[in-house]
């Protein structure tokens, strides 16, 4: 679709190189410590190219964040869809989110710099569109099915989302391999406690 024409092809290639290098450097050094000069040098283009594709440093970061969040959201959705039971979908999605968010580039870009660079509310909107939406929907479905007691799902979704974000960051820092198992177990207990029993 965007393939016709040698010009559109080159355009897309350049954009991808900028996105790729941006992602690598933002992940490795953090947004503040990365200079545009280094990005365009590594991408083998110039600042003119960057500013032709993006309105500035922040929007390049935004595009990178969108890509990272998209990948995480896809993984979560796939993990959820692997189950039929709505409850298993919730648990599977949460576990997969915890795993996916342990990757270092996801950590720095999505969890640390994201809110600071774009502001929390904008970050929140993107997070909602990418993956938090699945969490809210899963919880709402479980309320409707009577698996968990009737209650507003938004506060609950926020609590769980924050819990998983922070746990993922902690896992990457202090990871003995048993920590992951312990965290999964604790998260599992937390989720199971939502149920009526």
Instruction: Report if residue 51 touches DNA, rule: CB under 7 A.
Output: yes
Instruction: Report if residue 24 touches DNA, rule: CB under 7 A.
Output: no
The option from a copy of itself, DNA, none interacting with 124 (CB < 5 to 8 A, set by class) reads a copy of itself
Q: Shortest CA distance to 160 belongs to which of 97, 71, 77?
A: 97
Q: Could you tell me the two tokens for 32?
A: 């503040």
For 165-193, what is the HEC assignment? HHHHHHHHHHCCHHHHHHHHHHHHHHHHC
The option from a copy of itself, DNA, none interacting with 70 (CB < 5 to 8 A, set by class) reads none
Q: Kindly tell me which residue out of 49, 77, 112, 169 binds DNA, with binding defined by CB under 7 A.
A: 49
The option from a copy of itself, DNA, none interacting with 52 (CB < 5 to 8 A, set by class) reads DNA
Instruction: Report if residue 175 touches a copy of itself, rule: CB under 8 A.
Output: no
Q: Could you tell me the two tokens for 31?
A: 């947004």
d(CA 101, CA 63): 18
Instruction: Report if residue 15 touches DNA, rule: CB under 7 A.
Output: yes
CA 57 to chain centre: 20
User: In this chain, which stretch among 3-11, 89-97, 140-148, 187-195 interacts with DNA, using CB under 7 A?
Assistant: 3-11
For 15-64, what is the HEC assignment? HHHHHHHHHHHHHHHCCCCCCHHHHHHHCCCCHHHHHHHCCCHHHHHHHH
Q: Which residues bind a copy of itself (CB under 8 A)?
A: 30-32, 107, 111-113, 115-117, 119-121, 124, 151-152, 154-156, 158-167, 169-170, 173-174, 179, 182-183, 185-187, 189-190, 193-194
């Amino acid at each position: 679709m965007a393939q016709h024409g040698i010009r559109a092809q080159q355009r897309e290639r350049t954009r991808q190189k900028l996105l790729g290098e941006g992602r690598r450097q933002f992940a490795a050094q953090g947004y503040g410590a990365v200079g545009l000069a280094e990005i365009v040098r590594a991408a083998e283009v110039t600042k003119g190219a960057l500013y032709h594709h993006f309105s500035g440093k922040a929007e390049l970061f935004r595009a990178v964040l969108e890509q990272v969040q998209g990948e995480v959201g896809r993984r979560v959705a796939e993990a959820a869809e692997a189950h039929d039971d709505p409850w298993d979908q919730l648990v599977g999605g949460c576990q997969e989110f915890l795993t996916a968010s342990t990757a270092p580039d996801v950590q720095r870009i999505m969890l640390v710099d994201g809110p600071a660079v774009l502001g929390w509310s904008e970050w929140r909107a993107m997070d909602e569109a990418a993956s938090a939406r699945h969490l809210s929907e899963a919880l709402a479905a479980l309320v409707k099915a009577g698996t968990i007691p009737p209650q507003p799902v938004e506060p609950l979704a926020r609590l769980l989302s924050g819990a998983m974000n922070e746990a993922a960051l902690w896992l990457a820092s202090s990871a003995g391999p048993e920590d992951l198992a312990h965290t999964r177990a604790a998260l599992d207990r937390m989720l199971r406690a939502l149920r009526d029993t």
